[in-house]
Structure 1
Amino acid sequence: MGFAAVARVTEDKWIACAIHDEINFGLAVGGELNLETTICNEIRQHKKPVVIDHVAEDPEFANHHTPLLYGFQSYISVPITLKNGNFFGTLCAIDPKPAQLKNTTVIGTFTMFADLIAFHLDALEQIAITELELKKQQEVAVLREQFIAILGHDLRNPLNAISSSAQLLSRLNLDERGIRIAKIVKDSSFRMNGLIENMLDFASGRLGEGITISRTPDEDLEKLLIQVVDELKTIWPSRNIEVKFNFDHPVNADGKRLAQLFSNLLANALNYSPADSTVEITAFSTGEEFNLCVANKGKQIPAAAMERLFQPFSRGEVEPSQKGLGLGLYIASEIANAHDGTLDVSSTPEKTCFTLHIPYKK
């Protein structure tokens, strides 16, 4: 066939998308034909192929206006139907001379190419949709991360002022009610600071490159862990915390991050255990590992909750006073992972124990 085209055919336009022209038909890619002058317009309506071997001998098309206008004798056009069933256009070809087109080989070949074109168009559309969706998701992720980071920064300033004011109030000669109010403010500011830290770390872990660590070859973990215990004792002054440390070897780790992990575990243990019970902390370092265990008495963690305990925004059965974002254990596990370590939990009716294990790394 001397001229072939992939045509986009709509209710009002015939547009050439691809052209193969050996007879100087004179139409370029992007060129248009008057829709009413084409047989493709009829195919758009009935969605069936049209094949003509010899126009002059074809009783249906011998006097048709299209062959008379464009001067062809042989013609084939098959519809291009997209995956969703929508009609896209046609794959059509003409020639001034008659041709043997009404056979399974030729019609099958044109139909196959029309299907391939439809498949290609569907793939291009899907790629465009996917790229657009990906771009939107990336923009949303960036905005979300920026929002959380800015929010965390803006929250810290007034929170620091509240915490400092509570500290100053606690040093004044207050009556019993004033002391109790100052303690509530101090405790709440401590909890809010933990929520902000967790929120920012969650944003970093999920929307950025993950929680990052900076190891120190001889980190003084014993000192850092004791500082965390002392800080939490100011929040829970009546609670009994038993500490057993045995650091025989220095630990190559990020002390600040491990202190954050430990603070989350210890705060959970104090929150979820009876007020008259003892929270037990053991930690040791050897030439091969660092191990930390925080154990407390209290209700056994249900099996269903155990399965999702380290997932973000997941919490077990809690009392009204123990509500929170549910990010502490997720972030603690991420810190453990960043150290190539593990954070495990065991829970019985008598005791719940969270255990951090970090293998030695030079």
Structure 2
Amino acid sequence: MGDGVLGDVLTHVSEIQGIGAVPRILETVAAMTGLRFVAIAHVTDASWTACAVHDRLDFGLCPGDTLDVDTTLCSEVHATRQPVIIDSVRHSERYREHYTPRIYGFQSYFSIPIFRPDGFYFGTLCGLDPEAARLTDGPTVSALTLFAELISNQLESERSLRAARTALFTERETAELREQFIAVLGHDLRTPLGAILSGSEILARRVEDPGARQLVERIRRSARRMAGLVDDVVDFTRGRMGAGIALDLHERDDIGIVLEQVVDELRGVYPGRQLDTAIDSRLALRCDPQRLSQLLSNLLKNALVHGSPQRPITVTGAVDGPSFILRVTNEGPDLSPAMIGQLFKPYWRASSRAGSEGLGLGLYIVDQIAAGHGGAIRVTSAEGRTSFTFSMPVG
């Protein structure tokens, strides 16, 4: 038997062995018919292989064992696609002189074909016994046919389940490779971006021509934006690949000042926008100041892009009881509950929200930073005001 054929046979045996109901089916068939040997066999024109066996005769066959198919009546079932059922060999004109009953020493016998739903011939549900048994009555034949169909349906269910599991594994493996590639790419991009940023800083100090200075400043802004995108991608892959976004938690008593600096930086980037703050300057927290700055920056950029340009954006930050509360509020169209439910998913951007920039990772990273601090982010949107509220425990 060639390696390919052997592999197919082992696959068919494992398919039947993988169906948890098979032992109970064989026990039921044996009890119903009175036959002491019942099996499910995979049958081709060249082979007969036991896939599952219920043996009270010590017949000696185990799953995976084979018989010469030409010595079995299952070869006849394979050729005709019709069942063979014998109550008593000695009283059967057709089989009393047949060599198969003499070889295996049986008087009663049945072999019912098993087909897959697509019509593929799998094999047979078969049984035998040295004693005669009443098998050809209508209810028994119907029951045996029903059991063969049940096995067929179970085979198809197991095959579909395996295909689904394989597809899921392949999808997960592909996703992991994709995210590893993105992480490596992001890491490798940081070196040339760092060189561009350093060069633009030096040029900004040395160039005196106003037109050239504007060009240098444009290069610097673009490089900073690219660096931000790379940071977002690296943070995303860390979060998705199980390590989580890295945090450096320690006690700081100047968090209010740190957060005010974030707002001041964005005031410089968006000079035409009004940013109002009410941040407690005495804030002392155990946190990662850099990540909290990133969280606030992402929330503010979201508000600046999607809020009404003519209306102010407010930022409040203070300790309220056992929690630190940081809230960013902008005015503009209300967000629907469905949209709010999608906001923190990676790469998600509402097509209806014009002016979106970036990769759609900013709010996903906000959610990851909040979780890393043992906190949460909540969104409310009503009556033309949308608020993103970050809360984390203190103490």
Q: Which amino acid aligns with 1:89?
A: G
Instruction: Identify which of 340, 356, 359 aligns with 2:389.
Output: 356
Question: What is the TM-score of this pair, normalised by structure 1?
Answer: 0.81
Instruction: Name 1:204's counterpart in structure 2.
Output: 238
Q: After the TM superposition, which of the residue ranges 216-225 and 163-172 deviates more from structure 2?
A: 216-225
Per the TM alignment, residue 150 of structure 1 is displaced from its structure 2 partner at its CA by 0.4
Instruction: Identify which of 228, 241, 250 aligns with 1:194.
Output: 228
Q: Which amino acid aligns with 2:379?
A: D
Paired residue secondary structure (2:368)? helix
Per the TM alignment, residue 342 of structure 1 is displaced from its structure 2 partner at its CA by 2.2
Alignment of 1:154-169 (within 5 A): 154-169=188-203
Give me the whole-angstrom Cα distance separating, in 1, the residues matched to 2:139 and 2:301: 77
Q: After the TM superposition, which of the residue ranges 281-290 and 209-218 deviates more from structure 2?
A: 209-218
Counterpart contact for 2:334–2:386, Cα < 8 Å: no
Alignment of 1:62-73 (within 5 A): 62-67=96-101, 69-73=103-107
Per the TM alignment, residue 259 of structure 1 is displaced from its structure 2 partner at its CA by 0.9
The alignment of Structure 1 onto Structure 2 pairs a total of residues equal to 358
Change beyond 3 A, Cα 1:333–1:7: same
Give me the whole-angstrom Cα distance separating, in 1, the residues matched to 2:299 and 2:203: 29
Paired residue secondary structure (2:280)? strand
Q: Deviations over 1:234-259 (max 9, x none)?
A: 53456554333224552233322211
Instruction: Name 2:68's counterpart in structure 1.
Output: 34
Change beyond 3 A, Cα 1:5–1:190: same
Q: Deviations over 1:43-98 (max 9, x none)?
A: 23554432211123123433445335544322122233446654322222223443
4+ residue runs of structure 1 moved beyond 6 angstroms? 274-277
Per the TM alignment, residue 132 of structure 1 is displaced from its structure 2 partner at its CA by 3.1
Instruction: Name 1:133's counterpart in structure 2.
Output: 167
Counterpart contact for 2:257–2:281, Cα < 8 Å: no
Q: Which amino acid aligns with 2:333?
A: Q
Paired residue secondary structure (1:171)? helix
Per the TM alignment, residue 286 of structure 1 is displaced from its structure 2 partner at its CA by 3.7
Give me the whole-angstrom Cα distance separating, in 1, the residues matched to 2:389 and 2:250: 18
Give me the whole-angstrom Cα distance separating, in 2, the residues matched to 1:328 and 1:56: 83
**Structure 1 residue ranges without an equivalent (≥5):** none
Counterpart contact for 1:293–1:353, Cα < 8 Å: no
Give me the whole-angstrom Cα distance separating, in 2, the residues matched to 1:233 and 1:296: 15
Q: After the TM superposition, which of the residue ranges 169-178 and 47-56 deviates more from structure 2?
A: 47-56
Give me the whole-angstrom Cα distance separating, in 2, the residues matched to 1:96 and 1:271: 85
Give me the whole-angstrom Cα distance separating, in 1, the residues matched to 2:392 and 2:64: 66
Are residue 51 (structure 1) and residue 94 (structure 2) matched?
Answer: no
Q: Which amino acid aligns with 1:264?
A: N
Per the TM alignment, residue 341 of structure 1 is displaced from its structure 2 partner at its CA by 2.2
Change beyond 3 A, Cα 1:53–1:291: same
Are residue 179 (structure 1) and residue 232 (structure 2) matched?
Answer: no
- CA RMSD for the aligned pairs? 3.5
Question: What is the TM-score of this pair, normalised by structure 2?
Answer: 0.75
Are residue 283 (structure 1) and residue 317 (structure 2) matched?
Answer: yes
Change beyond 3 A, Cα 1:254–1:103: farther
Per the TM alignment, residue 201 of structure 1 is displaced from its structure 2 partner at its CA by 2.3
Counterpart contact for 2:83–2:111, Cα < 8 Å: yes
Change beyond 3 A, Cα 1:207–1:11: farther
Counterpart contact for 2:112–2:125, Cα < 8 Å: yes
Give me the whole-angstrom Cα distance separating, in 1, the residues matched to 2:245 and 2:69: 61
Are residue 255 (structure 1) and residue 289 (structure 2) matched?
Answer: yes
Q: Which amino acid aligns with 2:127?
A: A
Per the TM alignment, residue 194 of structure 1 is displaced from its structure 2 partner at its CA by 1.7
Give me the whole-angstrom Cα distance separating, in 2, the residues matched to 1:134 and 1:274: 43
Paired residue secondary structure (1:7)? strand
Q: After the TM superposition, which of the residue ranges 46-55 and 239-248 deviates more from structure 2?
A: 239-248
Change beyond 3 A, Cα 1:23–1:251: closer
Alignment of 1:70-149 (within 5 A): 70-82=104-116, 86-103=120-137, 114=148, 117-118=151-152, 121-122=155-156, 124-126=158-160, 128-149=162-183
Per the TM alignment, residue 117 of structure 1 is displaced from its structure 2 partner at its CA by 4.9
Per the TM alignment, residue 25 of structure 1 is displaced from its structure 2 partner at its CA by 5.4
Counterpart contact for 2:375–2:393, Cα < 8 Å: no
Instruction: Name 2:3's counterpart in structure 1.
Output: none
Alignment of 1:10-21 (within 5 A): 10-19=44-53
Alignment of 1:285-304 (within 5 A): 285-296=319-330, 299-300=332-333, 303=336
Give me the whole-angstrom Cα distance separating, in 2, the residues matched to 1:315 and 1:239: 23
